[in-house]
Amino acid sequence: MTDPTFATRPDPARAAERDRDLKLLLAVLLALLGVTMTAIYALALNAGAAPRLADLALARVPQTGVDNPVTAVLLNYRAYDTLMELAVLLAALLGIWSLGPAPAGFQRSGPVLAGMVSWVVPLLIVAGGYMLWVGGYAPGGAFQAGALLGAAGVIVRLAGDPQAGLPGEAAQRWLLVLGVLVFTLVGLGLMLFGAGFLTYPPKLAKWLILLIESAATLAIGVALAAAYVGGRPTATSPLDPRPSAQPK
């Protein structure tokens, strides 16, 4: 990463000095910017439209099919954002895969960690399931649950499985797209039945959201674990029956 502003210069001593001066100047300028922005932010807070969306968002929660207001925003009011965010995760992973198989230099860890795996990983998976379920009415939800699944993958890989306990490539690919696919198909299905894209009928909202969240949890978990693996799956057994995030 060479930034043209900081390209190498001939005289090292003077260059270092100038470099320091430049960094300092930049720091002063940015500090000034920070102070200015804080003042402006204060103005925005004082003169701004105080409750903003809070009251409206909270008032509509009972019609969303979930009780946790954040989940209501994520999967109902602004479900479209969440759909695209899952696509971002997918894009990043596809980008990682396009760069080749996982980099070499994987190190098997000590026996302590390997011993931990047998009880930490199932715990993480159970916790993930719980987190998913609880997200409907308390802090938690698909992202946190998916993160726990991903963490289980990280631990499995640290304990010695280079593929982080993920299934074969074909299954991995389907799992990866599962989140966006279910989300999109639900949205399109609703559109087909006249409700409009991603417009849930209140009666079905709870179950549709749970369906989407379950698929998203799996996809997020697989994507995060696969991102940690850092490359295309090398073992190419097309239909590996192993469930996700299971230690060998």
Q: Which of 16, 27, 123, 239 binds another protein (CB under 8 A)?
A: 27
Q: Is 11 in the site for another protein (CB under 8 A)?
A: no
Secondary structure of 115-164 as H, E, C letters: HHHHHHHHHHHHHHHHHHHHCCCCCCCHHHHHHHHHHHHHHHHHCCCCCC
Residues 51-110 that bind another protein (CB under 8 A): 51-54, 56-58, 60, 68-74, 76-82, 84-85, 87-100, 103, 105
Exactly one of 14, 15, 21, 42 binds another protein (CB under 8 A); that residue is 42
Give the shortest CB-149-to-another protein separation in angstroms. 10
Maximum Cα interatomic distance, the chain, rounded to a whole number of Å: 73
Instruction: Give the whole-angstrom CA distance, residue 12 versus residue 44.
Output: 46
In 3-state terms, what secondary structure has residue 236? coil
Judged by CB under 8 A, the residue of 125, 132, 166, 227 near another protein is 227
Dig out the tokens for 51 from the structure: 């409750």
| Smaller CB separation from another protein, 91 or 126 | 91
Instruction: Write out the two tokens for 138.
Output: 């308390």
For residue 176, state whether it binds another protein (rule: CB under 8 A). yes
Binding residues among 126-165 for another protein as defined by CB under 8 A: 131, 139-141, 143-144, 147-148, 150-151, 154
